[in-house]
Each structure stands twice: as structure tokens, then as C-alpha cells.
Chain A
Amino acid sequence: MATSPTTRRSRNLKLLGSAAWGLLALSLIFIFFVAREADDYPGGGPLQRIFYFHVPSAWVAYLAFAVVFISSIAYLRTSERRWDLLAHGAAEIGVLFTSLVLITGPIWARPAWGTWWQWDARLTSTLILWLTYLGYLFLRSLTRDPARSGRLAAVVGIIGFLDVPIVHFSVRWWRTLHPSGPTPADPTRSSGLGGPELLAFFTALVAFTLLFAWLLATRVRIGRLEDEVDRLEIEAERPDRGPASGIPVST
């Protein structure tokens, strides 16, 4: 029997969710039971395990804001509602994961550096990134006209993305307290991770990436449902005027 595209999409989403949560559970086993504990220096010991979810959170935030950037350009060019929904969902998830970065980082820094926060380039540029996309979400909530808020938000989404390379390369461009891994200028610099630690790290990285894909697909689906509810509510209020105009149709 042939399945409808909606049923197929729903089944794929469930599969993606199962893979993401399954791999996340596996990565927790690797993080806590397979990866060896780092030497007991400030920031090392059990504290070093924060790295296994702090870095993947930062990666997902980069990925999410890259999706906002691309979708916003596509929306400004085409005005298709699906790009706006994608950008909005990705921004929400990006803000969530940047929040996690900004929470788990200081929790590591307090015992490692003796302070919660330093106004250094990496930390400050990350805070600016978080505030920019928080502003993006706030801007979207200001108006009920989806086309207007979509266009305004798209501009902020594109400009905000300029901070992502600054966040990433800040540890190379400026002298910062934030640890950095191997760089093209110093490729021999060891990350200090052995086989089990790399296994835990990359499993967490893939799990977080799948989780991002699942969250984004779910968020976009909710956006489509919201559009459909708005459309039907307006039609119910004005039965004599025919189909509602001005309500975006998700494609």
C-alpha cells in the first residue's frame, strides 16, 4: 500500500528522533564510562568531561546560525514561507545551544580559572552572538504580520552571522584565556585526547548534530501547524469572505 508524503515525513522524523536520542544515550556511556579522566590540573580531572558537551553545543550553535543565514538569504530572494520557518526554528535552537555554551563554560571556568567570567575575545563575542539572536527572536514576536517580521528578522539573521567567524577565530586572532585546539598555524599541537576520548567526543558531536536536525524538523512542523491554525481561525471568523488572505501558506 502506498504511503502519503505526510505519513512518510512523520515516519522519517520519528526515525531521526530515535537515532538522535539513541546516539545521545550512547555518547553519555562513552563520556562517563569509556573516556579516561584527564590529569588533575585546574580544569582537568572530572571537570574536563564538561568539554564533551560544551564543544558539541557550540558546534550546534554555529550550525544553527549558518542555517539562519542561508535560509534568510533564500527568504529575501524568494519570499517563500518555508525559508522563514526554517530560519525562525534554527534561530530558536541556536539561542538554546548558545545558552548552554554560556552556562557550561563559566561552570568549568569557576574552578579552573577561579572566576566565572572574563571579558576576553571568545567569551565576549559569544555573548554578543547570543544577544543578537535573542534580539532576532524578540523582533519576531513584536509583530503579527509574518511577512514583515520575516523580512526584518532575515536582515538581522544575515548580519548576526558575521559574528560566528569572529567567535570561532577569536582564540587565534587575539590573546585569550579560552583554550584552543590544534590550529593550521600549529597543527602539531596535541589535543591531549586519546582513542577513547576521541570516540566519546565524536559520538557526542554526531549525536548533537542529529539532535539539531530532529529539533529543527519538529520546530518547522510546529510552524506549519501554527500557520494552518491561523488560516482556519481567520476563515472561521469571516466565512463570507472566502479563503483568508495574508496568511502565509507553507510549502
Chain B
Amino acid sequence: MSSLGWMITAFLCAGAGIGGYVSTLVVRERRLTKHLDTLRKGS
């Protein structure tokens, strides 16, 4: 692979890592907020 190819691979890996983590945080926060609303309404 060319130098450019390796550089793009590294960049995509870093982007996927950060993007993946941010997505899990966003999904977790939404799910918890929704669940919390349900629990508060029930109590």
C-alpha cells in the first residue's frame, strides 16, 4: 500500500474509534433519559 493509503487507513481508524464511542454515549444517554422518564411517571 502507498504512504497515502496507510495515512488514510490510520485516519479512518481514529475516526471510527472516536465516532463509535460518541455514538454509544449518545445512544446510552437517550435510552437512560427515556427509561428515567418512565420510572418517574410510574412512581
Contact = CB atoms under 8 A, between A and B. Distances in A.
Interface of A: 40, 44-47, 49-50, 53-54, 57, 93, 96, 99-100, 103-104, 107-108, 110-111, 211, 215, 218-219, 221-222, 225-226, 228-229, 232-233, 235-236
B43 A232 contact: yes
B13 A47 contact: no
A-side interface mostly: helix
Q: How large is the interface on B (under 10, 10 to 19, 20 to 34, 35 or more residues)?
A: 20 to 34
A215 B21 contact: yes
20 contacts: A46-B3, A46-B4, A46-B7, A49-B7, A50-B11, A53-B14, A93-B21, A96-B18, A100-B13, A100-B14, A103-B14, A104-B14, A107-B10, A108-B10, A225-B32, A228-B36, A229-B32, A232-B39, A232-B43, A236-B42
A50 B21 contact: no
Interface of B: 1-4, 6-7, 9-11, 13-14, 17-18, 21-22, 25, 28-29, 32-33, 35-36, 39-40, 42-43
B43 A235 contact: yes
Contact of A222 (B11, B29, B43): B29
Contact of B39 (A53, A219, A233): A233
A119 B5 CA distance: 25
A104 B9 CA distance: 9
Given A103-B13, A107-B13, A221-B29, A50 B7 contact: yes
A247 to B, nearest CB: 13
B29 to A, nearest CB: 5
B6 A107 contact: yes
Nearest to B35: A229
A219 B25 contact: yes
Contact of B40 (A57, A108, A110, A232): A232
A110 to B, nearest CB: 7
